[in-house]
Chain A
Amino acid sequence: MDVFLQQLMNALQWGSFYALIAIGYSMVYGVLMLFNFAHGDIFMVGAYIGFFVSSGLLALNLGSVIGLSTGVELGLVLVLTLIFSMLLNSIVGMGVERIGYRPLREAPRASAAITGLMIGIILETVNLALLGPQRRSFPELIPTTTITIAGASVTNKKILIVIVSLVLALLVHQFVQRTKWGMAMRAMAYDYVVVPLMGISSDRIALMTFAIGSALAAAAGILFGIAYPVLDPNMGILFGWKAFVAAILGGRGSILGAALAGFLLGFIEIFVTMIFPSTMRNLIAFGIILIILTFRPHGFFGEPFSAQLRL
């Protein structure tokens, strides 16, 4: 039982990365009807930005300057890192939208998909060229302590990661459901032709969608760095693709659906590794997703596709 609980916690943590990335995919897909294939690499860029921001903040040595205890200092650094990296990465995301996707708003959607793929490759290569192929280790922002709950030992990092990602997912959901901006986004998802006629700038909405998605990806990158402190330029590829499939599984444009599907994917992967060798993880995860999509092609929370897609 305690093994199960422990794995459950692992699955929740692993799934929370997927959930955060999948939300970004799902929002872009819902609002703009395009696959942002570069999103996995935006996640990678977010992790690297987090690495540099946190290293920089640690180097500033705030604790001794202002006079804080080490624990408070690390907490402050973590919060600042999250905020700054999310801001910076949303700028990266907006740049990608502006350069790669906006010129193709009216083009066939395959073009946008290819552009996304290519931007992903560019981001990876630029990273490789600038920083070299060696891996970087993320600075330790939270000293690990182990808590025992009901016989299962859980680290404080896992709890923090799960809580932060859940809070972020709910925040974005509330933003989309409750605010005026969110309403505009939902309207765009509903009808991208009429909404601009109502005085809503579709370009601005697109930029905002990319900004939010990239900010979440940055958060996922930092949380990933906290849990598995090894960063390399290719980390975004497989992670991004799997999150993408999770987003589809959740249903078009459904934020909670994407988060849920992300957690589900985490569960599948962790529990697969309990039974099978861990190299089988991708194979089985993709296989299960293929089967689910065969029987429920529009995902868990999406509406069935209408026939009038512009492809």
Chain B
Amino acid sequence: MPNKIKSAGKKTWGTITSRFKKFRSNFRDVPLISWLVAFGVTVALEIFVGQALARMVGLSKPPALFGVALVLDNPAKFLSAIIYMILVYALPVGVIAYLTKGVGNQIAKWLLQFPLLLTSVVHLLLIYGVMHYWTNISDYRLLVARLAMISIIVTLSLNVVNGYMGEFSCSHPGFMALGAYISSIFTVLLFVTENRFGDALMPAFLGPFMFPVSLILGGFVSAAGALLVAIPSFRTRGDYLAIISLAFMFIVKSLFENLEVVGGARGISNQPDYANLATIFVWTVLAIWIINNFVRSTMGKALNAVRDGELAASAMTVNTQKTKMVAFLFAAFWAGIGGGLFAHVIRYINPGTFGIRKLAEVLAMVYFGGLNSVTGSIVGAVGFSLISEALRPLDIFKWIIIPIMLILIMIYRPTGLIAFREFDVAQLFQPKEKQEEEGVDHAAA
């Protein structure tokens, strides 16, 4: 009898999945541009009728983050949030993407004749436009979006070391701290009048233009700090990176705690609000673009070779020492940039921010998303940010759930959800052809 139930259950499950597959195959030939247009329409819809619709389903205002913040806080409202999500997001996006796929494919095909750079710019502008209006609706949404993009930068840079190089580095909070402090000192010293550093030395209108300089400066300083870790730890293979990078993290933390010039344990505040959505978006795109090119370059392949067998790699004329050094400094540079942006979003930093919890968070993003994969890092950073926001009502218990989640990932999927997959921009923007059913199955397998 139980067997029968089981097989019956399997049958319904099977029909559900096959129906879902069939349903999904309708959307397989929707190009990215159509999705973006559909999202744009949805966002417009939310701006115009979101408030009224939210009232109708019993919410005081449109759910900020797809309702994830309500899951644990107020489960009764979460149901209305789901209805709202279906009405405002899922249904219109699906319908519009489906309807515009013909036109979208034509446009995508037409865009193919232009250089990839132009196509990318068109898509990025669309993405930014959607995001701009989407985050316009609530400040909370804006903050989470900005932090999530910074997480993407930091996660990607850690993935270069932990995924592509296959070492275990714990010093990313340290690099972030260096970048955050250096860029904060730069901007606060030059453009802000406050108690610690005195009057502004430069007119304020120059600030946004000098902000990239401060970030890059922070990046270079954290790369220089990385040199301190890299020189002793790459002389021999083994666990030295894990140990020395850990020591480095604590050194940086207690260094800033002891420097009264930068506020000691109290930290720096009053950073100017330069890191708006557009700035962070540009930096994130730059980071994804450059890191993706780096890991697909000869250097990136050499890095993978070093990971898979250092001896073999050096026999194949890979300069292992140099490869590891460059990759590590490169990763530290981007972590510094991420730290600088972070400091200007939160607008308050202290050494305690860059401790072991931060490390756990970044590691969770990398291993949740997937090692050795740019797509994985993006998915991991955004997904983890959403989960983290959803768990916020749990307060302290959040730090029981997140570790357990990560332990389960380590046990059942030690390389993460989307590991070892390449990120190909050209393929992303291509027009999608309708594929045969069998071909689809093959691709899935």
The answer to whether B236 touches A297, judged by C-beta atoms less than 8 angstroms apart, is yes
Closest B residue by C-beta to A306 = B238
- Given the complex, which residues of B lie within 8 Å of A309, measured CB to CB? 237-239
Q: Which of A118, A248, A283 contacts B254 (CB 8 A)?
A: A283
- Given the complex, which residues of A lie within 8 Å of B166, measured CB to CB? 311
The answer to whether B363 touches A114, judged by C-beta atoms less than 8 angstroms apart, is yes
The answer to whether A110 touches B162, judged by C-beta atoms less than 8 angstroms apart, is yes
Q: How many angstroms between the C-alpha atoms of A125 and B254 in the bound complex?
A: 23
Smallest CB–CB gap between B227 and chain A, Å? 12
Q: Which of B386-422 contact A (CB under 8 A)?
A: 396-397, 399-400, 402-404, 406-407, 410-411, 414
- Given the complex, which residues of A lie within 8 Å of B363, measured CB to CB? 114, 117
The answer to whether B407 touches A293, judged by C-beta atoms less than 8 angstroms apart, is no
The answer to whether A128 touches B396, judged by C-beta atoms less than 8 angstroms apart, is yes
Q: How many angstroms between the C-alpha atoms of A35 and B228 in the bound complex?
A: 22
Q: What is the predominant secondary structure among interface residues of chain A facing chain B? A: helix
The answer to whether B168 touches A110, judged by C-beta atoms less than 8 angstroms apart, is yes
Smallest CB–CB gap between A286 and chain B, Å? 5
The answer to whether A115 touches B168, judged by C-beta atoms less than 8 angstroms apart, is no
Q: A100-B407, A113-B168 are in contact. Are A241 and B250 (CB under 8 A)?
A: yes
The answer to whether B247 touches A279, judged by C-beta atoms less than 8 angstroms apart, is no
Q: A200 interface residue, CB < 8 Å from B?
A: no
The answer to whether A122 touches B232, judged by C-beta atoms less than 8 angstroms apart, is no
The answer to whether A245 touches B243, judged by C-beta atoms less than 8 angstroms apart, is yes
Q: Which of B247, B257, B356 contacts A237 (CB 8 A)?
A: B356
The size of the chain A interface, using a CB distance under 8 A, is 46
The answer to whether B168 touches A121, judged by C-beta atoms less than 8 angstroms apart, is no
**Number of cross-chain contacts by CB at 8 Å:** 125
The answer to whether A282 touches B235, judged by C-beta atoms less than 8 angstroms apart, is no
Binary interface profile of B, 230-263, with partner A (CB < 8 Å = 1, else 0)?
A: 0110011111101110111011001101100000
The answer to whether A297 touches B240, judged by C-beta atoms less than 8 angstroms apart, is yes
Q: B359 interface residue, CB < 8 Å from A?
A: yes
Q: Which of B231, B246, B258, B410 contacts A283 (CB 8 A)?
A: B258
Q: A103-B411, A118-B360, A286-B247 are in contact. Are A113 and B242 (CB under 8 A)?
A: yes
- Given the complex, which residues of A lie within 8 Å of B367, measured CB to CB? 114
- Given the complex, which residues of B lie within 8 Å of A238, measured CB to CB? 250
- Given the complex, which residues of B lie within 8 Å of A244, measured CB to CB? 243, 246
Q: How many angstroms between the C-alpha atoms of A74 and B45 in the bound complex?
A: 74
Give B residues with C-beta under 8 Å from A. 162, 166-168, 228, 231-232, 235-240, 242-244, 246-248, 250-251, 254-255, 257-258, 310-311, 356-357, 359-360, 363, 367, 396-397, 399-400, 402-404, 406-407, 410-411, 414
The 9 closest A-B pairs by CB, nearest first: A118-B403, A294-B232, A282-B254, A283-B254, A125-B399, A305-B238, A111-B410, A110-B168, A103-B411
Give A residues with C-beta under 8 Å from B. 35, 100, 103-104, 107-115, 117-119, 121-122, 124-126, 128-129, 237-238, 241, 244-245, 248, 277, 279-280, 282-283, 286-287, 289-290, 293-294, 297, 304-305, 307, 309, 311
